[in-house]
């Protein structure tokens, strides 16, 4: 069903590209109703426009809070053109039809990002705009609703194709977009209030997101995928790709995993290598080049085709090390000119600058068909009140720093997780096994394969308790001399006895770090 547009109400905060609409409206003799800054802009461009208060016969009030909230506006939008009763009521009231609404909202999300004033933020919660949008979207059978300046072009094409009319299909698509926008807008506001009031798990949880881009495919080529930004600044992710192919679903998944670990290293110069969302090498060292080499040497086979994240500037020496191997993505806090020249010779290598990236201490989600789980992030490493050494031998202060490093990395390894470390570098990682003993065997096997000399006197971290002594026994036999684990098994004393007999130091943290 094609409907002629006779009257359009235009009220836009963002006035970019409005001139293209005005030209089309003039061509098809569409009358414009507007107010405030939009009205001034239309008149400034030299086009005819009826001021809103003149159209309604009611002057706006309460500092502009009430202007479009008027029966003549909403009746003009909402009445069913095919309903005789509606037509009679409109005729009796001498109300005109409004066939097109062009609206964008007060910049709530922009204000939230820049202002700490609750009063200023609340004043930028748009009421009239979303109300008109919902009215027009509900009555898409009779009214076209445009909420995005990117849809000005498609609207103009509709008008040209149907000589001043719009098709039902076009109006329905625009309606879907409009309800998506109002839901998104309300979700941002609800989340702002929850954050302000420190309500972590509200009765009703709305997750907002704006599509950044459609990806080539998902985890596998037969799956479709897109990436969305869940932030008030919803136009970018905070990092900049400088070179290489477009990022894939799996690239993003690994990137986010690497950035989480990198954040946990805080101010320590560190390198993180990720493969399939699991770390396969992590190292901190005052010298960036040593950090890089140590992280890579932990498991160079798994690092093949992986993601490397560095919290330092990449120079020529590090770039030359990177190019010795096949990698998918390199992230760093900037790159010097020489390093970029070297790295860009790798045509497909994605080079990403994370110097302006800021991680947010938000919740994590797991989604299922009809439900989702929410939890706050695991930001704890050790709790000094719960930490205790359960063996006769006690660790030194320097060893405690290594213990904390190892236990921190275990947080990011898929459970069951065993992490072997030496001198603030991982030397063997066992991940994602249903049996903790199997994770121990894998970590030991990898350490023996790539860094056999570093197993002796190494530190082992387990994300959860050892249900049996077999895992601990295997670690001790390999050369591990310090073990950190949460404790809590019914066999804890048996395991402590094994450690004491072998003259191994063992700490119970009372903190578990499952990561499924």
Q: In whole angstroms, what is the distance from residue 345 CA to residue 323 CA?
A: 9
Other CB atoms closer than 10 Å to residue 255's CB: what's the count?
24
Residue 92 CB-density burial (10 A; 0-12 exposed, 13-18 middle, 19+ buried): exposed
- Note if 79 is an active site residue: no
Q: In whole angstroms, what is the distance from residue 388 CA to residue 392 CA?
A: 12
Q: In whole angstroms, what is the distance from residue 44 CA to residue 42 CA?
A: 5
Q: Output the CA angle 65-66-71, nearest 5 degrees.
A: 155
276: tokens are: 């399939």
Alpha helices in 265-373 (DSSP H): 288-298, 300-303, 316-322, 337-343
Alpha helices in 271-415 (DSSP H): 288-298, 300-303, 316-322, 337-343, 397-410
**Residue 266 CA, distance from chain mean position:** 20
Active-site residue, from 4, 6, 276, 377: 276
Calculated CA dihedral for residues 124, 128, 133, 134, nearest 10 degrees: 110
Contact between residue 189 and residue 125 where contact means Cβ atoms under 8 Å apart = yes
- Note if 356 is an active site residue: no
Q: In whole angstroms, what is the distance from residue 331 CA to residue 355 CA?
A: 9
Q: Is 228 helix (H, G, I), strand (E, B) or coil?
A: strand
Active-site residue, from 4, 15, 87, 138: 138
The sign of the CA dihedral 131, 133, 135, 138 is: negative
Other CB atoms closer than 10 Å to residue 440's CB: what's the count?
27
Catalytic positions are 138, 276
């Amino acid at each position: 069903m094609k409907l002629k547009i006779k009257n359009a109400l235009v009220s836009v905060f963002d006035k970019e590209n409005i001139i293209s609409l005005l030209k089309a409206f003039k061509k098809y003799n569409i009358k414009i109703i507007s107010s405030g800054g939009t009205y001034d802009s239309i008149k400034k461009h030299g086009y005819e426009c009826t001021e809103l208060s003149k159209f309604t016969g009611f002057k706006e009030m309460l500092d502009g809070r009430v202007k479009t909230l008027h029966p003549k506006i909403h009746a003009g939008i909402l009445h069913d053109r095919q309903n005789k009763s509606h037509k009679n009521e409109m005729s009796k009231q001498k109300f005109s039809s409004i066939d097109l609404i062009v609206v964008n909202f007060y910049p709530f999300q922009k204000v939230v990002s820049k202002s700490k004033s609750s009063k200023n933020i609340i004043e930028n919660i748009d009421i009239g705009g979303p109300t008109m949008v919902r009215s027009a979207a509900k009555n898409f059978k009779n009214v076209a609703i445009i909420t995005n300046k990117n849809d000005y072009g498609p609207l103009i094409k509709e008008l040209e194709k149907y000589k001043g009319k719009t098709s039902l299909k076009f109006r329905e698509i625009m309606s879907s977009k409009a309800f998506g926008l109002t839901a998104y807008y309300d979700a941002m506001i609800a989340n702002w209030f929850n954050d302000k009031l420190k309500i972590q798990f509200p009765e009703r949880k709305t997750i907002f997101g704006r599509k950044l881009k459609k990806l080539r495919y998902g985890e596998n080529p037969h799956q479709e995928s897109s990436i969305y930004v869940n932030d008030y600044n919803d136009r970018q992710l905070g990092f900049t790709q400088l070179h290489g192919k477009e990022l894939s679903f799996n690239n993003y998944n690994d990137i986010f995993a690497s950035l989480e670990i990198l954040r946990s290293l805080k101010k320590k110069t560190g390198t993180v290598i990720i493969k399939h969302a699991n770390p396969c090498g992590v190292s901190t060292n005052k010298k960036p080049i040593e950090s890089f080499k140590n992280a890579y040497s932990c498991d160079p086979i798994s690092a093949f085709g992986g993601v490397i994240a560095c919290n330092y500037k990449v120079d020529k020496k590090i770039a030359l090390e990177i190019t010795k191997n096949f990698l998918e993505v390199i992230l760093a806090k900037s790159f010097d000119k020489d390093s970029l020249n070297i790295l860009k010779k790798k045509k497909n290598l994605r080079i990403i600058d994370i110097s302006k990236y800021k991680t947010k201490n938000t919740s994590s989600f797991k989604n299922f068909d009809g439900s989702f789980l929410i939890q706050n992030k695991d930001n704890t490493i050790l709790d000094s009140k719960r930490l205790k050494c359960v063996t006769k031998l006690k660790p030194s202060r320097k060893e405690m720093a290594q213990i904390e490093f190892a236990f921190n990395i275990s947080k990011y390894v898929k459970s069951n997780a065993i992490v072997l470390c030496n001198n603030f570098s991982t030397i063997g990682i066992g991940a994602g096994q249903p049996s903790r003993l199997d994770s121990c065997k894998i970590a030991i096997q990898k350490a023996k394969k790539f860094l056999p000399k570093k197993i002796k006197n190494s530190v082992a971290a387990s994300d959860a308790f050892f249900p049996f002594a077999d895992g601990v026994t295997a670690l001790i036999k390999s050369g591990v001399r310090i073990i950190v684990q949460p404790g809590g098994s019914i066999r804890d004393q048996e395991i402590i006895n094994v450690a004491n007999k072998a003259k191994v130091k063992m700490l119970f943290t009372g903190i578990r770090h499952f990561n499924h």
